Amino acid sequence: MQTGDAAEESGGETAAESLRSAANVLVLSDGMDPDARASYYDELLPADPTDLRVLAVEYTRGPDGWLDEWRDHVGRPPAGTAIVSVDDGTRSAAAAGTQPVYGGDGTGRTVSTVESPDDLTGLGIAIGGHLKRWDGTAGPALLTLDSLTVLLQYVDLKRAFRFLHVLVNRVKGTGGVGHYHMDPGAHDDQTVATLASVFDAVARYDDGEWQVTTR
């Protein structure tokens, strides 16, 4: 995202406050950095985490892995949970299709599986189905996609851009918020800038704090 007349750096506000009017946010951080992950949960979530309805799109972890991380940082599950697990053939715990799954604490979540990581049509259908079910229901909704870095291992930049352009408009149309994670160190500046142009804001984790740029 370019700085200048069309963008503003946050000043004097918390990261979450700077993002309050942003429907779709590119989150730039090293996903393997535990401090960055903890800070994301502490500072960037758009509402009380236990009030959120969360739709998690996971390329690197199964449903249990995502929920374990949420519990580690938040302590309690979200008010509602739907998970789209993008399977590269190495994970087989979740069956294809959409199904309710119940954890050991009785917490329900809906899990969908997209069997091919380059199947953006299937991924869009799965995400759209969950968003449609949540449209008009009470409580704030958050889509998290983890991660664009992994997505770009399976599809080229042009396809990813087109997919995200449609997805951000769909999220905005539901009144929800989308967070799209990406490791900036894994990409050249032009790739990051190209994808950043799709979003309302960019939050970059740098030297222990979030730097927010909005359009």
Across the strands, what pairs with 167? none
Contact 178, 168 (CB under 8 A): yes
Output the pLDDT for position 108: 54
Provide mean pLDDT across the span 105-109: 49
11 pLDDT band (50/70/90 cuts)?
low
Confidence band, pLDDT 50/70/90 cuts, at residue 110:
confident
- Write the CA distances from 71 to 50, 89, 196, integer angstroms: 10, 26, 29
pLDDT value at residue 95? 38
* Bridging pattern class, strands 209-214 and 201-206: antiparallel
